[in-house]
Amino acid sequence: MTVFFTADTHFSDPRVLRIDRRPFPDLPAHDAALIAAWRERVGAGDVVWHLGDFARDAPEGRAAEILAQLPGEKHLIVGNNDPESVARASGWASVAPYAELVHEGTRLVLCHYPFRTWRDSGRGAIDLHGHSHGRLAPITRQYDVGVDVHDFRPVTLDEIRAQRRRRRAPRRTA
């Protein structure tokens, strides 16, 4: 079993093509690409924590239709663009505004919104969030797990940490 994290898929939300300048010609292509990326990474026995803004759910029932296409045990941390119909959609193992868990020996604080400080932040706990679409400068032990930052796919905790290390690595010149 692998545990993945993601956020800000914004299925069925035409605004993301314009506001976030996502590289898709239209909304059906956007949704199909994100579903395909999820299916390439996540297996039936895996767990995915989606940290909000899953779908606008227009038309009604679209969230359940998408969830049925996505493998894995899916948990939703509700975002500001998730209507009640998304939270009620069949296919979620849990739905909450916030969660804390220990994964691979690390305490994780999960919320759609990035925190300035969080429980046990001074003791090594990590804040995983969405909402900012890669536009927020990170602080120590805080990571944006949104699809805009991670090639439109769910990622593991190791991948999240490795991406930050790569950004900090000095560039070498020949």
Q: Report the pLDDT value the prediction gives residue 93, as an integer from 0 to 100.
A: 98
* Tens-level pLDDT at each residue, the chain (174 residues): 999 999 999 999 999 998 889 999 999 999 999 999 999 999 999 999 999 999 987 777 889 999 999 999 999 999 999 999 999 999 999 999 999 999 999 999 999 999 999 999 989 999 999 999 989 888 999 999 999 999 999 999 999 988 766 554 444 444
All residues at 6 or more sequence positions from 58 whose CB lies less than 8 Å from its CB, including other chains = 12
Question: What pTM, to 2 d.p., does this model score?
Answer: 0.92
All residues at 6 or more sequence positions from 170 whose CB lies less than 8 Å from its CB, including other chains = none
Separation of CA 19 from chain center: 18
Residue 154 preceded by cis peptide, ω within 30: no
Rg (CA), the chain: 16
The token duo for 89 is 């959609």
- Alpha helix (H) residue ranges in 70-156: 84-88
Q: Report the pLDDT value the prediction gives residue 172, as an integer from 0 to 100.
A: 46
Domain 3-168: which topology? Purple Acid Phosphatase; chain A, domain 2 (3.60.21)
